[in-house]
C-alpha cells in the first residue's frame, strides 16, 4: 500500500482518470467525517459508488454514491492510499480542517445459493 499526496493542480485529471478507468463505479464506499467542531461520524456506510469529480470553478470535490452525493467544499489537501489492485481510500481535508475519509472496497458478491 502506498500513500501519496495529490497536488491541487492534479485533482481534476486524477479523479477524472480513476472514475473512468479506475473502476470506482464497481466499488462501495464508506465516508467518515472527523472534525473538532462536529466529532466523528459516518456519513455513508458501504454504499455503491459512481465516481469522484473535482470541479475547479466551484472548488468542490463531489463523491457520487447511490442515493447520495457527498460534497466537500474548498478542499485544501488530498491524500490517497493505493495498492496494485487500485485505490483503497481518499483522505480530504477541507478549509475548516474537517477530514473526510472515503474508504473503498469491492461489493460482496452473492452466489445465489441458499445455505441449508
Cell (9 digits) for 64: 457520487
> What is the tens place of the pLDDT at every residue in 41-63?
999 999 999 999 999 999 999 99
The answer to whether the predicted template modeling score (pTM) of the entire model surpasses 0.85 is yes
Nearby residues of 13 by Cβ (< 8 Å), 6 or more positions away = none
Count Cα neighbours of 69 within 13 Å in the Cβ-side half-sphere: 9
Q: Where in the chain are the domains?
A: 2-105
pLDDT band, residue 108 (cuts 50/70/90)? confident
CATH code for residues 2-105:
2.30.29
Cell (9 digits) for 3: 500513500
Amino acid at each position: 500500500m502506498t500513500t501519496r499526496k495529490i497536488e491541487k493542480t492534479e485533482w481534476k485529471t486524477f479523479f477524472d482518470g480513476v472514475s473512468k478507468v479506475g473502476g470506482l463505479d464497481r466499488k462501495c464506499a464508506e465516508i467518515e467525517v472527523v472534525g473538532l467542531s462536529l466529532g466523528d461520524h459516518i456519513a455513508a456506510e458501504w454504499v455503491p459508488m459512481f465516481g469522484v469529480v473535482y470541479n475547479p470553478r466551484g472548488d468542490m470535490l463531489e463523491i457520487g454514491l447511490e442515493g447520495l452525493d457527498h460534497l466537500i467544499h474548498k478542499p485544501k489537501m488530498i491524500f490517497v492510499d493505493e495498492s496494485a489492485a487500485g485505490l483503497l481510500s481518499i483522505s480530504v481535508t477541507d478549509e475548516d480542517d474537517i477530514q473526510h475519509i472515503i474508504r473503498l472496497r469491492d461489493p460482496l458478491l452473492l452466489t445465489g445459493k441458499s445455505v441449508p
